[in-house]
Amino acid sequence: MKDNFLWGGAIAANQAEGAYLEDGKGLSVMDMVPMSEQRVKIKQGKISYKNCKQNDYFPTHKAIDFYHSYKEDLKLLSEMGFKCFRTSIAWTRIYPTGIEEKPNESGLQYYRDLFKECKKYGMEPLVTISHFDVPMYLVEKYGSWKNREMINFYLKYAKTLFEEFNGLVKYWITFNEINVILHNSFSGAGLLFNDEESVEQVKYQAAHHELVASALATKLAHEINENNQVGCMLAAGDYYPYSCNPEDVFLAMKKNRESYFFIDIQSNGEYPSYSKGIFEEKNIKLEIKEEDLNILRDNTVDFISLSYYTSRCVSAEQNKEENEANVMRSIKNPFIKASDWGWQIDPLGLRITLNTLYDRYRKPLFIVENGLGAKDIVQKNKIINDDYRIQYLKEHIQAVKDAIKDGVDVMGYLTWGCIDLVAASTGQMSKRYGFIYVDLDDYGVGTGQRIKKKSFDWYKKVIETNGEDLCLFPNYEN
Ligand code: BG6
């Protein structure tokens, strides 16, 4: 690993902060998503959030209360030697509805303090401008990203951040997992569909608006401070063909293009040639202003960030068993095991994905999410033996090292949910990713106490040795 390799961890405002209406914060999309059997459909935009039941539980409202505990939490994280800490800014803490002329000073102060606290411990903040976080007012009054007006609301917000945190924050991500708009259209981009609309048309038009907004924000960030580094962000994990049947291979190529479409535009600066085929097949006619193409061409990203949890698999044959694959549908791959939540575990897939991305874009890659969601058990004396997590991370970090040997330029590696937080897919607390346990159950009941897991000391050692030493512990193995 390079000497300045950015080791650390990541969280997102909506999954950690809680305090969902405190200090002037407005409602955002994830505040409307309950932990119920309707959750997935609401996130997808297939049914409206208005169908929630009266006694539904909304996990983001409390989350892990990071809003109040960030000082203690950052101190703990810093003990592992983090070089980088990724979080998102809640748009609705800065502009509660999205349309205000002036930002909310308490929101700005909160993040200013938080970033200063990171700096105090030598942790470089990496900030996601929008992580599943569209203000509800903009959803209701403007139709969110369906509407071109959103570009202006987003830019006003982004400009405020670049100016207010100028010099404090250098690394920015414009949209978390931008390709998720195609799958979780409501939670990802605030989209709701009415019966007269073509769902595909709406999604791709909204995506176009996001892409233009992302490019303009990149331009702005560079103008405000030439040291700013702006990245796009992909929910990554290549699709494998289920077999060498050319039909399977062709389908895998198509599925991969569905995601790479976004990064092709953000990194290469133009709509890829194959988008013509996608639009024809789905009968999509985009409204693109002439200047949009210049904006996209002239303002490409500095780095490509990605989340990686699993690879995916596709087959031309129907009736194959499916499994969860972080938002996307996938066929079960018979060669690899799965987590308790059915996400298949494939470290080599990370090496493959990194190679594919680097071959395609030749820009530095930043793994800003990777990890294992698992159930943890607190034993006597508050001991949490999360060897399964250590094993997962160890194999994935090894894959990163292998990819670097292959010639890939990787600037950093952040684990997801470095402190336990609310799961985006299920809303559960019991799907834990952290090195630090948070004593809360799926309904937010518990002391909220923080407990270091076994993986805490392990990751500390990994960082200390710049990834050289991945052994569990001297007494435990190899
Ligand atoms: C990514 C998201 O898709 O996966 C995170 O950016 C999310 O917000 C993470 O939490 C893990 O997924 P989950 O559903 O296990 O929380």
Residue-range domain boundaries for the chain: 6-464
CA of 381 to the centre of ligand 1 (A): 30
Residue from 66, 369, 442 to probe ligand 1 pocket by mutation (most atoms less than 8 Å from CB): 369
Give the CA diameter of the chain: 65
Ligand 1 atom closest to residue 422's alpha carbon, by position in its atom list: 16
Ligand 1 atom closest to residue 307's alpha carbon, by position in its atom list: 1
The alpha carbon of 38 is separated from its chain's Cα centroid by a whole number of angstroms, namely 22
Ligand 1 atom closest to residue 12's alpha carbon, by position in its atom list: 8
pLDDT tens for each residue of 36-84: 999 999 999 999 999 998 899 999 999 999 999 999 999 999 999 999 9
pLDDT above 90 (res 320): no
Residue nearest to atom 8 of ligand 1 (CA): 424
Helix (H, G, I), strand (E, B) or coil at 1: coil
Q: Do 101 and 152 form a contact (C-beta atoms < 8 A)?
A: no
Confidence of residue 402 (pLDDT cuts 50, 70, 90): very high
Mean pLDDT on 329-340: 93
Which pLDDT score is estimated for 473? 63
Mean pLDDT (the chain, rounded): 96
Which pLDDT score is estimated for 477? 47
Torsion (CA) 261, 320, 396, 357 in degrees, nearest 10: -20
Residue among 117, 124, 177, 210 flagged as catalytic = 177
Query: What gap in Å lies between CA 232 and CA 54, rounded to an integer?
Result: 38
In this prediction, what percent of the chain has a pLDDT beyond 70?
99
pLDDT tens for each residue of 201-258: 999 999 999 999 999 999 999 999 999 999 999 999 999 999 999 999 999 999 999 9
Which pLDDT score is estimated for 387? 96
Token pair of 101, please? 């002329």
CA of 383 to the centre of ligand 1 (A): 26
Active-site residue 177, yes or no?
yes
Residue with tokens 């006619």: 285
Q: Do 90 and 107 form a contact (C-beta atoms < 8 A)?
A: yes
Judge residue 2's burial from the number of C-beta atoms within 10 Å of its C-beta, 0-12 exposed, 13-18 middle, 19 or more buried: exposed
Bridge partners of 410, per DSSP, are 365
Which pLDDT score is estimated for 431? 98
pLDDT above 80 (res 300): yes
Query: What gap in Å lies between CA 221 and CA 228, rounded to an integer?
Result: 6
- Does ligand 1 lie within 6 Å of residue 183's CB atom? no
Active-site residue 369, yes or no?
yes
Which pLDDT score is estimated for 478? 39
CATH 3.20.20.80 corresponds to the domain 6-464: yes
- Does ligand 1 lie within 6 Å of residue 423's CB atom? yes
Ligand 1 atom closest to residue 343's alpha carbon, by position in its atom list: 15
Query: What gap in Å lies between CA 335 and CA 240, rounded to an integer?
Result: 12
pLDDT tens for each residue of 248-294: 999 999 999 999 999 999 999 999 999 999 999 999 999 999 999 99
CA of 11 to the centre of ligand 1 (A): 9
Confidence of residue 399 (pLDDT cuts 50, 70, 90): very high
Token pair of 68, please? 């109040």
pLDDT above 90 (res 325): no
Helix (H, G, I), strand (E, B) or coil at 169: strand
- Does ligand 1 lie within 6 Å of residue 177's CB atom? yes
pLDDT above 80 (res 475): no
Residue among 17, 117, 324, 369 flagged as catalytic = 369
Residue from 416, 418, 429, 432 to probe ligand 1 pocket by mutation (most atoms less than 8 Å from CB): 416
Confidence of residue 474 (pLDDT cuts 50, 70, 90): low
Mean pLDDT on 93-107: 98
Which pLDDT score is estimated for 187? 97
- Does ligand 1 lie within 6 Å of residue 424's CB atom? yes
Which pLDDT score is estimated for 322? 85
Query: What gap in Å lies between CA 49 and CA 30, rounded to an integer?
Result: 10
- Does ligand 1 lie within 6 Å of residue 373's CB atom? yes
CB atoms inside a 10 Å sphere around CB 319: 6
